[in-house]
Amino acid sequence: MRIFFLIAFFLFCVPEARAEVLSSENEAWLSLVHYRPKSFGGYESTVDSETFFLSPEGKTNPQAELEATIALFNSGDDEKKCLFPARYKLLKSHDVDVGKYPKCKDYEEFYQDLHPAGVTLLFTNAYMNNPSSLFGHTLLRIDTGRKGTQLLAHGANYGAFTAGQENSVLFAVLGLTGGYYGGFTVKPYYDIINTYNNIENRDIWEFNLDFTPEELDFFVAHLWEIGHTQTRYYFFTQNCSYMLMETLDAVRPSLHLSDEFPVQTIPLDTIKAVVSRPGLIKSVNYRPSRQAKIIYRVSQMNDTQYDAFLEAVKHQNWSLEGLNDDEKADVLETAYQYIQYQYVAKDLELGDYRKRSFKALTTRNKIEVKEYFEELKEGKSPAEAHDSMRASVGFGVHNGDGFQEVSYRPAYNSLTDDSYGMLSGAEINFLNVSARHYDRRDNYVLQNFDLVGIKSLFPFNDMFFPFSYNIEAGIQREMNPQTEEEGYVFNLVVGGGVSHNITDNLLLYALVNNHLAYGGFVPHNQWAGLGFVGGIYGNWGKVRLLAEAEKVLATSHFADKMKYKIEAAYGLSRNTAIALNYTYHQNYGHDLDETMISLRQHF
Amino acid sequence: MKKIYLASLICGAMMLSSNAGAVDSTGCGLGSMAWRGQSGPVAQVLAVTTNGLFFTQTFGITFGTSGCDPNGRISGGTGRMTLAFLENNLEQYAMDAAAGHGETIETLAGILNMDSETLGAKSKQNFAFLFENENADAVDVTLRLFQVIEA
């Protein structure tokens, strides 16, 4: 019997314990060195720093790199070994003979400072004041095991080193063409909260990943490796979110997250990919922006509280007239938050800011009663938002001529799309293209090719005074009202104005648009104009409506016109909607009258 | 005709420039931006360590110039962590101290290895001492906080 067990032991356990010899085609090795398959065979690493590769051919040769790595751990110098703790762990776990890992002071300090206890994927929602943040942002957090709270955790952010050029044209050009290098930086989580929640007023979503202790260790080790490298940064493809996918794949290769983003990487899509992996998410937590917190607190005020609040923040009358003691604390704390908001929004000078903050707090400090207001804890998860790409098919009538239309838009969100989990009041359309077939003429035409369409309608009220704006650039097929011929025009529209809420779901807006148009079809090849827009935007969840009228004054009679348009959508699900578009252009008695009904599908 | 060209040019320029004034998000925390006094944190911190007020740690010479650690990490012992935390979270701590509870108090209680309710109560009781006037800076508050805790 004993011999039987012994035989069984040798038969089953010993070969198991020796494990497979690590091959350079091993998934774990490929993801750890960020190798991606090339279109015509072979591999190339995403990382561009030469120091990341131990073999001169390392960037494209996984086998040479593996041999060089094994050689390093057998006979190389300790300083270099200290740069690759994760490679060491991987080799060791595959029973490759790699000797003893040296004592690495810098890495040990890094590890101690992080005091790692877990990994969290962070998503911050869109920020309409910075072109590089329109799609939101993702970063990683190394949760801390320190006493206290996760404020003492660290964020690991992958970003482009842009040398403060974010607001220039150069930024757009270099950002799109890989002119910047990207890399990881580590910052305390409280700094990240300040940046996103408090300065930029963006919500943060925390997706807690379910990593084993070994995976956590491996993650920190790999972060150390990759933290010493740089990678060409491409705004749409190899961006902040994409590198996080490769980094998570390096920790758990079976995730195959980066495979899902061969072309474009939209932060929201990476969140959805991570959420879709079974057993990867442990919990989700929402950290609202300061502005969202203020709005939620104000919504809980009774009329007397709201009046006292406005008296304090607008007129510096801190008497809190008419309030019971247990109504005061909440008002004062909201006022304090609002003063912080005003300072960041540059509505307050430093001196006034300090005086008012101090006044609010000393008054609050004298009240013994606790707060009653609830904190904002629930949000609409971006993981449940509609998908980024959209295709639609529709049919309609264009001045009496029936037509069928197909369109495709790779990204991202229209005002009449379902806004659940998205930034409400913000429209970001990229590369929307439509083609039509007309019945009477029996021809196929490209109807429009829009490069970009951005609308930001944030209502002003007693407390917040955001600027609403509109940017459109693209090629459209237009009708010459004098001849009724059609042709292509490149249109650029930049406008600004204000919005105001009538109800929670309905807002009015007024914009002044600045038009520039160019095209061989246009008389004199070009025109410029000013457009005065009045519009209404309603969003009741399933039902969305955008209606606007615009009076255009232009340098060409071709473009001088009154334009009306209505866009309405009814959501059948988060990703599917029926839409109705109506357009009427009044000009010279040769009007344009068009109605279309379409089915929209996000995917 | 010319007027419309001109008007559209001016409008365009205005719209582009209005966007350029956005708050710089690369700074080292709001607290440091808004509340930092003119007293020069480095000199004070060095003075502090020689007074022996901080009981656990010495400060690195490079620390304290920007409000962030040079390597972007939270490190060091109680004194250094407390100061670094308050330099970056002073406005939130001021709020929580006035009320006697909150996230920054829980965090500081962790750093100081004490019970957060005790720290909350002490902060609230001594708010007027901790934040003597509207120009209180992180170094002042840190020093006073240690006095409050030891009392």
**Residue B103: inside a domain, yes or no?**
yes
- Residue-wise pLDDT for B32-74, tens only, equals 333 333 333 333 333 333 333 332 222 222 223 334 455 788 8
Residue B91 in any domain: the answer is yes
Neighbours of A493 (CB within 10 A): 20
Stated as kind and residue range, the H or E segment containing B110 is helix B103-111
| Cβ contact, residue pair B4, A529, below 8 Å | yes
B74 and A343 within 8 Å at the Cβ level: the answer is no
Pairwise pLDDT comparison (B45 vs A390), residue with the higher score: A390
Cβ distance of A167 and B19 shorter than 8 Å: yes
The pLDDT confidence band at residue A165, using thresholds 50, 70 and 90, is low
Measured torsion, CA atoms of residues A587, A589, A590, A591, in degrees rounded to the nearest 10 = 60
* CA-based nearest residue to A509, from A529, A530, A538: A538
* The predicted structure's pLDDT at residue B151: 77
Task: Tell me if A140 sits within 8 A of A120, measured CB to CB.
Answer: yes
Contact A536, A545 (CB under 8 A): yes
Position B11 in a domain: no
Q: At residue A20, does pLDDT exceed 60?
A: no
- For chain A, the structural domain boundaries read 21-102, 107-287, 290-365, 385-602
* Residue B107 included in any domain: yes
Residue B44 domain-assigned (yes or no): yes
Q: How confident is the model at residue A307 (pLDDT cuts 50, 70, 90)?
A: very high
Dump pLDDT digits (tens) for A250-298.
Answer: 999 999 999 999 888 899 999 999 999 999 999 999 999 999 999 999 9
Q: Are B105 and B97 in contact (CB under 8 A)?
A: yes
Is residue B6 in a domain? no
- Answer yes or no: is pLDDT of A502 > 70: yes
User: Which of chain A's residues have a Cβ under 8 Å away from the Cβ of B7?
Assistant: 530
Contact A514, A488 (CB under 8 A): no
Name the token pair of A3. Answer: 């011999």
What is the rounded CA–CA span in Å between residue A42 and residue B144?
63
Residue B7 lies in a domain: no
User: Is pLDDT of B8 > 60?
Assistant: no
- In angstroms, the separation between the Cα of residue A167 and the nearest Cα of chain B is 7
B17, B87, B89, B91, best to mutate vs chain A, most A CBs in 10 Å: B91
| Number of A–B residue contacts, CB under 8 Å | 160
Q: Determine contact: A143 vs chain B, CB below 8 A.
A: no
Residue-level pLDDT at A173: 75
| pLDDT digit string, tens, across residues A97-134 | 999 999 999 999 999 999 999 999 999 988 877 666 78
Banded pLDDT at B9 (limits 50, 70, 90): very low
Which one, of A124, A158, A162, lies nearest residue A46 by Cα? Answer: A158
Identify which has the larger pLDDT, A335 or A126: A335
- What is the extent of the structural domain holding B79? 28-150
pLDDT 10s digits, A450-462:
999 999 999 998 8
Give the Cα separation of A168 and B16 in Å (integer): 10
Name the residue with higher pLDDT: B42 or B149.
B149
CA torsion sign for A192, A262, A388, A414 is positive
Beta-carbon separation of A358 and B133 below 8 A: yes
Q: Do B31 and A194 touch (CB under 8 A)?
A: yes
Instruction: Find the CB nearest B18 among A164, A199, A467.
Output: A467
Q: What is the mean pLDDT of residues A303-328?
A: 94
pLDDT reading at B124 higher than 90: yes
**Is domain A385-602 classified as CATH 2.40.160.40?**
yes
Question: A305 with B67: CB under 8 angstroms?
Answer: no
Question: Per-residue pLDDT for A563 more than 80?
Answer: yes
Of A318-327, A544-553, B36-45, B74-83, where does mean pLDDT reach its minimum?
B36-45
Q: Is the pLDDT of residue A381 over 90?
A: yes
CB contact under 8 A, B94 and A357: yes
How many independent structural domains does chain B possess?
1
Contacts of residues A140-143 at CB distance under 8 Å and 24 or more positions apart, as own/partner, are: A140/A244, A140/A247, A141/A189, A141/A192, A141/A206, A142/A114, A142/A116, A142/A118, A142/A219, A142/A220, A142/A223, A143/A116, A143/A117, A143/A118, A143/A119, A143/A208
Separation between Cα atoms, residue A192 and residue A194, nearest integer Å: 5
End-to-end CA distance of chain A: 61
Q: Does B70 touch chain A (CB under 8 A)?
A: no
State residue A180's pLDDT score.
Answer: 83
